[in-house]
C-alpha cells in the first residue's frame, strides 16, 4: 500500500532525531529486526503499520531517551497531513475539526481515534487494541503529541475545561508532557483520551475559511470514496478536479497528471461509463450545492469560483442540474 505524506514525514523525522544521537539507519534496522520487525527488501517509504511499533521502540532504546516518542510527535506540523491538514485549518470550530478527524482519519493513516458523547461534550479516545502493553505508553505519547501540535496550530488560546487522561502510571519523565498549563492531566485511567466539554466545542479555528473548507472537505470525501471504489480512474479524475477548484484543468492536463495519454484516459473513463465532461459537471454541481448551503457567498461569487464567465450561465446550469435556481435552492436548504 502506498504510504501517505504523514507516514513519510514521520519516518524522515525519526531518522533525523536518531542522527542527532549518533545512531545510523543500519543500527535502527538491526535493533528493529531483533524486536520482530520484518525488514523490507528496500528501505521503508513510511512510518506505518505493525512494523512501525518495532521501529519506534528500537529508536527509543538506541537514543536512550524516554522522551523520544514525544519529541517525534512534536516534530510533525499540520502541513504533513496534506489535504486533511488544510481541511482542518479551514474548519469553523473544534467540534467540526474533531468530526472531520473521525470521518477521514483512516484515509490519512489516523484510524485509531474514536469519539463518545459524554456530559454534553466529546471524549476523543485512543484505540490501540493490537498494541502490546509494554508499547502502549510510547505509542500513546507519539499520538497525543501529534494531536497537541495540530490543535495548537488550529485554536486561539487554550481550550477551556479540557481534560487529558492516560491509561498508564505517571512516568518519571512526565515533566516533558508540555501541554497547556491549564489542561488537567491524570494517569492510571481506564483509557487514554481527551475530554472536550460542551463549551470547548465552540472554540473557533483561527484560520477558518468556509469557502475553502468546501473544497478541501470534498477532496477528503473523494479520497474516502476512493478507498473502496471500483471506479478507480473516475475517482482519480474527480480528485484532481476537486483539488483544482477555481482553475479546472483540461482533459489533456488531467491526463498528464495521471501520466497517461488523453486517448487512454477517455477510453478508461468509457469503461467505467463516464466521460470527462460529465465528471466536471458533477464536480461543479456538487461544489455549487456546498457553497450555497455552507457559505454566505453571493451567487455571482460562486459562479466565479466554478469558472462561469457570466452569472446567468451558472444559473442556467444549476437549474438544469437541480430543477431550481441557486437562490431557490439556498432558500429551501434553510427551511
Nearest to 131 by CA among 188, 78, 73, 53: 53
Q: Residue 193 belongs to what H/E stretch?
A: strand 193-196
Q: Cell digits for 97?
A: 475539526
User: What is residue 45's predicted lDDT score, i.e. its pLDDT?
Assistant: 57
User: What is residue 48's predicted lDDT score, i.e. its pLDDT?
Assistant: 64
Average pLDDT of the segment spanning 264-273: 91
Reported as a single tens digit per residue, the pLDDT across 27-75 is 998 998 888 777 665 555 566 665 788 889 999 999 999 999 999 999 9
CB 205 within 8 A of CB 154: yes
- Using CA atoms, how far apart are residues 46 and 2, in angstroms rounded to an integer? 9
Q: Residues of 94-127 as b/e, b for ≥16 C-beta within 10 angstroms?
A: bbbbbebbeebbebbbbebbebeeeeebbbbbbe
- Using CA atoms, how far apart are residues 118 and 305, in angstroms rounded to an integer? 40
- What is the CB neighbour count within 10 angstroms for residue 42? 6
Share of the chain above pLDDT 90, in %: 40
CB 250 within 8 A of CB 265: no
User: What is residue 3's predicted lDDT score, i.e. its pLDDT?
Assistant: 67
pLDDT higher than threshold 80 for residue 214: yes
pLDDT higher than threshold 60 for residue 228: no
Nearest to 67 by CA among 17, 125, 11: 17
- Using CA atoms, how far apart are residues 58 and 33, in angstroms rounded to an integer? 9
Q: How far is CA 90 from CA 79, 196, 206, 214, 290, in A?
A: 13, 20, 9, 9, 14
Question: pTM score, two decimals?
Answer: 0.75
Average pLDDT of the segment spanning 254-273: 91
User: What is residue 8's predicted lDDT score, i.e. its pLDDT?
Assistant: 86
Amino acid at each position: 500500500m502506498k504510504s501517505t505524506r504523514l507516514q513519510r514525514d514521520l519516518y524522515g523525522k525519526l531518522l533525523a532525531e536518531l542522527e542527532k544521537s549518533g545512531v545510523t539507519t543500519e543500527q535502527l534496522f538491526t535493533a528493529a529486526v531483533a524486536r520482530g520487525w520484518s525488514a523490507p527488501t528496500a528501505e521503508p517509504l513510511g512510518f506505518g503499520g505493525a512494523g512501525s511499533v518495532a521501529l519506534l521502540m528500537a529508536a527509543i532504546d538506541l537514543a536512550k531517551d524516554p522522551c523520544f516518542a514525544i519529541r517525534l510527535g512534536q516534530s510533525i506540523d499540520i502541513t504533513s497531513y496534506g489535504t486533511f491538514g488544510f481541511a482542518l485549518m479551514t474548519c469553523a470550530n473544534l467540534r467540526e475539526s474533531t468530526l472531520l478527524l473521525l470521518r477521514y482519519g483512516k484515509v490519512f493513516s489516523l484510524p485509531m481515534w474514536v469519539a463518545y458523547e459524554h456530559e454534553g461534550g466529546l471524549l476523543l479516545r485512543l484505540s490501540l487494541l493490537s498494541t502490546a502493553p509494554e508499547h502502549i505508553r510510547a505509542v500513546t505519547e507519539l499520538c497525543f503529541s501529534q494531536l497537541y501540535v495540530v490543535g495548537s496550530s488550529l485554536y486561539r488560546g487554550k481550550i477551556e475545561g479540557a481534560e487529558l487522561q492516560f491509561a498508564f502510571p505517571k512516568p518519571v519523565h512526565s515533566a516533558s508532557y508540555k501541554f497547556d498549563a491549564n489542561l488537567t492531566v491524570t494517569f492510571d485511567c481506564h483509557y487514554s483520551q481527551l475530554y472536550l466539554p460542551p463549551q470547548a466545542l465552540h472554540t473557533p479555528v483561527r484560520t477558518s475559511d468556509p469557502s475553502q473548507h468546501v473544497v478541501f472537505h470534498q477532496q477528503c470525501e473523494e479520497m474516502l470514496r476512493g478507498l473502496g471504489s471500483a471506479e478507480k480512474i473516475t475517482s482519480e479524475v474527480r480528485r484532481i478536479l476537486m483539488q483544482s477548484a477555481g482553475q479546472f484543468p483540461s482533459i489533456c492536463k488531467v491526463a498528464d497528471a495521471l501520466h497517461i495519454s488523453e486517448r487512454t484516459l477517455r477510453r478508461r473513463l468509457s469503461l467505467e461509463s463516464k466521460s470527462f465532461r460529465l465528471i466536471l459537471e458533477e464536480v461543479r454541481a456538487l461544489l455549487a450545492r456546498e457553497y450555497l448551503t455552507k457559505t454566505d457567498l453571493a451567487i455571482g461569487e460562486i459562479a466565479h469560483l466554478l469558472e462561469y464567465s457570466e452569472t446567468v450561465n451558472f444559473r442556467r446550469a444549476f437549474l438544469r442540474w437541480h430543477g431550481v435556481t441557486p437562490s431557490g435552492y439556498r432558500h429551501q436548504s434553510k427551511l
